[in-house]
Chains A and B, each alone.
Chain A
Amino acid sequence: MTALPRRKVLITGAAGGMGRACARMFGAADDLVLTDISQDRLDAFANELRTDSYNVAAHAGDMSDPALIATLVNELSDGKPFALVHTAGLSPALGDWKAIMQVNLVASELLLNALESILVPGSAAVLIASSAGHMMPPVPEIDAVLAEPLSDGFLDRIEQIIVGMSGANSQGGMGGISYTLSKRAIHTLVQRRSQTWGPNGCRITSISPGMIDTFMGRSEIENTGGAQELLDATPAGRIGTPMDIAMAAHFLTSDNASFISGTDLLVDGAGTYGIKASMAAAQG
């Protein structure tokens, strides 16, 4: 094993299924800065890691709180390259359409804006999107709205789009469409930011997980029809594990991926194409 200088790695949603796997994977060789909305779960996990000799700083809070963002930025402000693994997010079963858009897109935009001030060549970010983001065709007018999540009236425009897509009547409801839109927005955000980060020697990518065996994934399977359909249509023949995501995130933020930026990596067992094929077959 090559000895590398320890980086600082910020992991959001660190007490969640993917966050925990990422913390263990990265924490073996990097110093961890963890955040999560749940103080209790984060503290318990951070203490567990410290007992196992991991180097951990932990700050619980809401990602839309500027004070929390400032604290996290401060943790990473030592002038060295850092990595971000942004797993915090809400799935359709865990919030209404507004909360989903707020957490998945608006908070991501705020976090990246804050981190841009301390980017150092060699820094790398990976954002957890979703295979759902690949389920809608690109619509330039919608992409244009999604590109400005901090603009006045953003959520009103999103509501119009969701209603226009017959959101309340669709299988996943307003929340399902909001989720799809928010994850599509992560794909395009990564493309855009890669262009401004690149000349500074910094990289940004996303991962689109398919059905993954986390609390969130299991909630979707229990509460929404589409999740089980996705799992059934996955050619890999199994549900993904949080460690599958952690290993992909580790690769994408490592020097092994130093020429990879502005792109999304599907870690879905080919389920995204599988579900499209089975939907097409069902329509005859």
Chain B
Amino acid sequence: MIAVNTTGPFNVIKAALPFLQAADKATIVNIASVSALMPMAGTTGYSASKAGVAMFTKGLAFDLGPNIRANTICPGVVVTEMTRYLWENPEHTERAKDRVALKRLGEAEDVARAALFFSTEDSGFTTGTELPVDGGFSWR
């Protein structure tokens, strides 16, 4: 969990750093999870790995700014292969939807659009922050 979710982004950014620094302006967008913001039973390792990437990204904003901005998206339950176990089971799906203010699961496009926002000058004064894309989790 830590190797993929936390060390993975570290390795990618380390490799990309010369290119990011050579650019006039660059942005980094990491994908964490709402689990980075709130603990949930049974997700200790996952939550720790995602909280790690969120704080790693926050640190990057300080260490690599101002030319490089770095932000984290914290998705809630999004319909992907990773959550197949959940959305294939109608009971689990209903429970997951019920925890979300908008009463639906997220789509990959919801996360992509937030990533686009953070990748452009539309978010030019935002760095070192987390944005939940979770439909409004009641317990966040």
Contact = CB atoms under 8 A, between A and B. Distances in A.
A238 B127 CA distance: 12
A240 B103 contact: no
Interface in B45-103: 58, 61-62, 65-66, 69, 76, 100-103
Contacts of A268: 125-126, 129
Interface in B94-134: 100-104, 106-107, 110, 113-114, 116-117, 121-129, 131-134
Contacts of B117: 251, 256-257
Contact of A273 (B58, B104, B134): B58
A201 B140 CA distance: 19
A131 B50 CA distance: 24
Given A251-B122, A256-B116, A270 B131 contact: no
B53 to A, nearest CB: 16
Contacts of A197: 101
Which of A237, A241, A248 has most B Cβ within 10 Å?
A: A248
B128 A195 contact: no
Contact of B129 (A198, A258, A265): A265
A238 B126 CA distance: 12
Contacts of A245: 125
Given A257-B113, A260-B131, A260-B134, 4 more contacts: A195-B101, A260-B133, A263-B132, A265-B126
A265 B106 CA distance: 19
Interface of A: 191, 194-195, 197-199, 201, 203, 210, 235-238, 240-241, 244-245, 247-248, 250-251, 256-263, 265-270, 273-274, 277
B95 to A, nearest CB: 15
A256 B110 CA distance: 7
Judged by DSSP, the binding face of A is mixed
Contact of A257 (B107, B114, B129): B114
Nearest to B67: A237
A247 B116 CA distance: 13
Nearest to B73: A260
Contact of A270 (B62, B103, B135): B62
A195 B134 CA distance: 12
A60 to B, nearest CB: 29
Contact of A261 (B66, B127, B136): B136
B138 interface: yes
B137 interface: yes
B128 A248 contact: no
**Which 9 residue pairs across A and B have the least CB separation, nearest first?**
A198-B101, A270-B128, A262-B136, A237-B66, A259-B110, A261-B136, A244-B125, A256-B113, A194-B136
B101 A247 contact: no
A244 B100 contact: no
B66 A266 contact: no
